[in-house]
């Protein structure tokens, strides 16, 4: 311990201790800035939530694939995008693909789990209206994940035009 008396401080410095003033000048701030702390907290929570959703999604996967088979022709693009999201989550769970934004896994898994969950905002028992909220939520999720999904298409060698409208 460094004391303020000159005899003790000179012997402490000679022994390799750093004076108190030098410690204060080189020490990192006691608390990181609020923004950095918040980003780390949100990222950690998002990753934990994403892993939990991935495990739930694995159990509901066959139900999801079966429900996508009866979608009308004009909604096939959303169905293709949903299949792409499902395949992406399979690859993330298997560890073969990791090049994602921190929020992609929780957003994708939550959107897909919502579609297979019978307790929707609009019950699935209502014809047309029951599926409308599912399709709308999937479309929003795909829009949020568009950049990551396009990168995943390139990774897998899939033509992006099959899943997305590309500018001419």
Using an 8 Å Cβ cutoff, are 3 and 17 in contact?
no
**Average per-residue pLDDT for the chain:** 76
Contact indicator for 149, 84 with CB cutoff of 8 Å: yes
Residue 87, pLDDT score: 93
pLDDT of 77:
81
Contact of 84 with 119, CB cutoff 8 Å: no
Task: Choose the weakest-confidence range: 7-11, 85-89, 147-151.
Answer: 7-11
The Cα 83–Cα 64 span in angstroms is 9
Q: Is the pLDDT of residue 15 over 70?
A: no
How would residue 51 be classed by pLDDT, with cut points 50, 70 and 90? confident
Is 50 exceeded by the pLDDT of residue 10?
A: no
Summarised one tens digit per residue, pLDDT across range 83-137 is 999 999 999 999 999 999 989 999 999 998 888 887 778 887 777 777 788 888 8
* CB of 113 closer than 8 Å to CB of 150: no
The alpha carbon dihedral of 26, 31, 34, 39 has a sign of positive
- Given pLDDT bands bounded at 50, 70 and 90, which one contains residue 66? low
User: Greater confidence, 78 or 87?
Assistant: 87
Query: ∠ CA 33-35-38 to the nearest 5 degrees?
Result: 110
Entry pTM = 0.56
pLDDT average, residue stretch 41-50: 73
For 153-162, what is each residue's pLDDT tens digit?
Answer: 999 999 998 8
């Amino acid at each position: 311990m460094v004391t303020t008396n000159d005899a003790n401080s000179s012997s402490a410095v000679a022994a390799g201790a750093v004076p108190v003033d030098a410690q204060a000048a080189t020490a990192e701030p006691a608390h990181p800035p609020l923004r950095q702390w918040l980003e780390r907290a949100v990222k950690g929570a998002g990753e934990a939530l994403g892993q939990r959703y991935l495990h739930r999604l694995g159990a509901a996967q066959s139900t999801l694939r079966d429900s996508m088979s009866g979608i009308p022709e004009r909604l096939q693009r959303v169905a293709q995008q949903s299949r792409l999201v499902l395949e992406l989550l399979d690859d993330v769970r298997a560890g073969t693909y990791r090049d994602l934004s921190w929020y992609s896994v929780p957003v994708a898994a939550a959107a897909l789990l919502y579609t297979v969950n019978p307790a929707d905002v609009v019950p699935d028992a209502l014809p047309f209206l029951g599926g409308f909220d599912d399709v709308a939520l999937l479309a929003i999720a795909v829009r949020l994940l568009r950049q990551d999904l396009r990168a995943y298409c390139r990774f897998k060698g899939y033509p992006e035009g099959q899943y997305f409208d590309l500018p001419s």
